[in-house]
Homo-oligomer: A and B are copies of this chain.
């Protein structure tokens, strides 16, 4: 089996960690009898600075034939975030209908939680984030510009199709792991979008009578992540709420250096894209101190998505072993190992 993989290292530490993830993927391929043909794309803020665009006009077309995409991170000082993200990350998520943003977190061995007295089995959850619509919308604008009565409108868009499919995905996932679903709502504040979300949640939940379901206001759910994370299993959330809750979930478990994510098109007809939850962290880029674990785990998710389940699990196990042994720790884990050293040790353990 040969898979065509597009690599977009992007900016900042995205570049540093993607090379390590690629090393681990190549090792997995050699060991488990499949091959990967890589093509690298220099789409980034650097490209934007030179050419005025994050990716070429036919960028989506170029990627559409790939079996998977590994994305580093995008963002660099000088390029406004809404330019860099809406010029690359967000259009790709939408063009490829990667409507699921899957963000599993767990407390990895050999690491400690920011929370007091929590054990690993209490800190394991998955955020299922809607990834194609919702609060992230380009609709809106400014009225009375430059006048004292100036104001800005920002529209959120929730479609039946979009809300239903993400909630269904969350229930399927919860069923497959014998878990339960918590829906993040804010129907008491946002009185159009969130009551609609709740309505569809109730409809879908009724079709999964075997899967326990509950809803929780996003403010209370954020508090629960800190005070009772053991009561959380699968969380389904809108684009914005999922964004916040998944960073938070990463923070209460191993930290952002450890949290992978998949932008998934469940149909498989268009490529899915995998990336660390963390950003490009330009302040520490190129210094060899970024933790590559999140990106390595994102690479494992890519293999999982391609059906290479055994190889994916082997990568995760290797990461666990390396962290348990403590033989290579980057500074965020209290060690002095470089990004490359940690990546290499994981690859060697896997081999």
Contact = CB atoms under 8 A, between A and B. Distances in A.
Interface of A: 75, 80-82, 84-86, 90, 112-117, 135-142, 148-161, 186-196, 218-220, 222-227, 239-240, 243-244, 246-248, 250-252, 255-256, 279
A246 B226 CA distance: 13
Contacts of A158: 151-154
A155 B243 CA distance: 19
A192 B153 contact: yes
A318 to B, nearest CB: 26
B151 A160 contact: yes
Number of copies: 2
Contacts of A157: 151-153
Nearest to A136: B189
Given A112-B116, A244-B219, A82 B188 contact: yes
A54 B194 CA distance: 21
Given A150-B160, A188-B81, A222-B222, A193 B140 contact: yes
B136 A193 contact: no
Contact of A152 (B189, B192, B247, B256): B192
Contacts of A227: 114, 251, 255
Contacts of A148: 160-161
19 contacts: A81-B187, A86-B191, A90-B189, A112-B116, A135-B189, A135-B190, A140-B156, A140-B193, A142-B196, A150-B160, A151-B158, A151-B159, A153-B157, A154-B192, A154-B193, A219-B244, A222-B247, A223-B250, A226-B252
B192 A140 contact: yes
A223 B113 CA distance: 12
A113 B140 CA distance: 41
A207 B207 CA distance: 56
A4 B136 CA distance: 45
Nearest to A219: B247
Given A115-B114, A226-B226, A189 B140 contact: no
A114 B118 CA distance: 10
A265 to B, nearest CB: 20
Nearest to A222: B248
A47 to B, nearest CB: 18
A85 to B, nearest CB: 5
A268 to B, nearest CB: 23
Given A115-B115, A189-B240, A227-B255, 14 more contacts: A82-B187, A85-B188, A85-B189, A90-B189, A112-B116, A116-B116, A136-B190, A140-B156, A140-B191, A153-B156, A154-B158, A154-B194, A226-B226, A226-B248
| Chain B CB within 10 Å, residue with most, of A140, A151, A226, A255 | A226
Contact of A192 (B75, B84, B142): B142
Given A116-B114, A155-B153, A256-B223, A192 B86 contact: no
Contacts of A161: 148-149
